[in-house]
Amino acid sequence: MSYVKNRERLLDHGNRNAREITIKLVEKALAKADPYLAVKNLVSLENDTLTVGCHTFDLSKAGNIYVVGAGKATYPIAKALEEILGDRIKQGIVICKYGQDGELDKIDLRLASHPIPDEAGLAAAKDIYSLAEGTKPGDIVFAAFTGGSTALLPYPVDGVSSSSP
């Protein structure tokens, strides 16, 4: 996967060798920070054994699997989890910012405003809260919260208005 989209333009002038080395370093750094690849490297499923980092779970003894989250990098995390877990995901809701493209099969992708919270984010936050309240002991919940989640997942306490003055 190439992250630097204007590679040829960057290499068409100046010290080409130094620029090539710099682009390779940038590509490596961005690959290490890629949330989709991070999940693919961290989470695996073999038969009924779910591995998350150094933790393993016997899914034949576990309850349901849920995915919740909000943030600008949450979609690629949810996408990777769907690819790994597929129909084992009972339900999920993730909130991303307007304009973020993508499709999910088992996880409900909601869009809301960033950086200013809006009613769509509030409605999605309430739905995530309801989903979380419905979980039971033994269920597995993947919580994917990334940058921007404070705006995308607003849920003011009683007494704080959820609308603009």
Segment 64-115, tens digit of pLDDT? 999 999 999 999 999 999 999 999 999 999 999 999 989 999 999 999 999 9
- Give the pTM: 0.85
Q: Strands (DSSP E) along 6-120, which ranges?
A: 43-46, 49-52, 55-58, 65-70, 89-97, 108-112
What band does 156 get if pLDDT is binned at 50, 70 and 90?
Answer: confident
Residues 6+ apart with CB under 8 A from 126: 155
Burial (CB < 10 A; 0-12, 13-18, 19+), residue 36, is middle
What CATH class is the domain 36-152?
Answer: alpha beta
What band does 1 get if pLDDT is binned at 50, 70 and 90?
Answer: confident
Q: How much of the chain, in percent, has pLDDT values that exceed 70?
A: 97
Average pLDDT of the residues in 106-130: 97
